[in-house]
Amino acid sequence: MVDYSLARRSAIASVRRGMLDTNDVCDAHPELLRAAKNIGEEIDIPCPICSHEAMRGVRYVYGAELKRNSGRVVYPREWLVELSESYDQFTCYEVEVCLDCAWNHLIRAYQAGRRFRKPAAPRRRRR
């Protein structure tokens, strides 16, 4: 799993220092904004840019194996479980989006799928 909280913090710090314009970070694609608004999960923290309580989490999946499902927004969580049981390997991206100012940032990315299921308990070796 790749955690993007460091990159997120540094982006926020750059905006506060004036090194990055808010337009550079508040640039959520209309489609992402729509997904966030309609099916995003509420995130209980205020937006780091506009400080409004309008944050949503959106989950995307990508993978060659997914074919037409690749790049789709996955919601609710049960879909992700279903995909994990149907495909060997794909990547899941979690993004946070602010509905008010369009701030968006990757939170984490991880591999999922049958290949990444927890292995069964190891068999006891015969002595």
Question: Which residues form the interface with Zn ion (CB under 5 A)?
Answer: 47, 49-50, 98, 100-101, 103
Whole-number minimum distance, CB 22 to Zn ion, in Å?
Answer: 9
Distance CA 17, CA 11 (A): 10
> Which tokens is 109 given?
């990315």
Whole-number minimum distance, CB 28 to Zn ion, in Å?
Answer: 10
Residue with Cβ nearer Zn ion (96 or 113): 96
Alpha-carbon distance values, 82 to 22, 64, 68, 105, 117 (Å): 37, 17, 15, 26, 13
Residue with Cβ nearer Zn ion (10 or 86): 10
Residue with Cβ nearer Zn ion (95 or 98): 98
Q: Give CB contacts under 8 A, 24+ apart, made by 82-87.
A: 83/112, 83/113, 84/112, 84/113, 84/114, 84/116, 84/117, 85/114, 87/63, 87/113, 87/114
Whole-number minimum distance, CB 60 to Zn ion, in Å?
Answer: 20
Residue with Cβ nearer Zn ion (56 or 59): 56
Whole-number minimum distance, CB 55 to Zn ion, in Å?
Answer: 7
